[in-house]
Amino acid sequence: MMRPQLVLDIGGVLATNLSPLFWRLLAAEANVSEEALYSEYKRQISEHLWTGSISEEQFWEWINKHAPKLSSERARSYIDRSLQPLPALAKIAEWNDIADIHLLSNHLPAWIEPIVKPIRPYLKSVTISSEAALKKPHPEIYARAAAFIPSGSHVLFVDDQEKNIRQAASLGWRTLLADEDGQWISFVLPLLKQES
């Protein structure tokens, strides 16, 4: 019997999102409002960062222009402070008992490595936007992740963004929206068992 496939986002699903803590910490260092700094980031470099057309180093150079007194070491520590494991991370081994697990995330590999490293033995594939040069909800990044999924498999996709859920649903994947309280976690096993 073909195993169900579980495709998980990282931010908001397995780990906290960078926002808002990361931007709050940076804004305090830059002595500007969080809203102003984040707005500039979204306008100038967000798309480029998540699709890999600028490097992490270029991102930190951009940050340095806004917060020149902030050391690169301290700035990088804000990534670790902002990306903390969520309860679902502890469920990966249990979910792996009945499903193949894949990650599909808009992120940078270096930033998520502390989250991914302990669960890597359970993962069939990892598709990261900055390596794929595409970000969700672009259909092609879903196609790249789907290439690792056996044809005809039942897929459950979990993400914390409605727009990403809609794109996955258009592929015929079953979807589950991750809520901030983590209540979605209790639905994963029953949904996977329905498919197995």
Query: Which CATH number does 5-16+84-195 carry?
Result: 3.40.50.1000
What is the mean pLDDT, run by run of 10 residues, along the chain of 196 residues? Answer: 94 95 92 92 96 95 90 90 96 98 97 97 98 97 97 97 98 97 97 87
Helix axes 21-30, 56-66, angle to 10 degrees: 50
**Omega of the bond leading into 114 within 30 degrees of 0 (cis):** no
Cβ-based neighbour number of residue 130 at 10 Å:
23
pLDDT attached to residue 138: 97
CA distance 108 to 51: 9
pLDDT attached to residue 110: 95
pLDDT attached to residue 73: 87
pLDDT attached to residue 115: 96
CB neighbours of 119 closer than 8 A, spacing ≥ 6? 14, 89, 92, 93, 101
Q: Where are the domains of the chain?
A: 5-16+84-195, 21-82
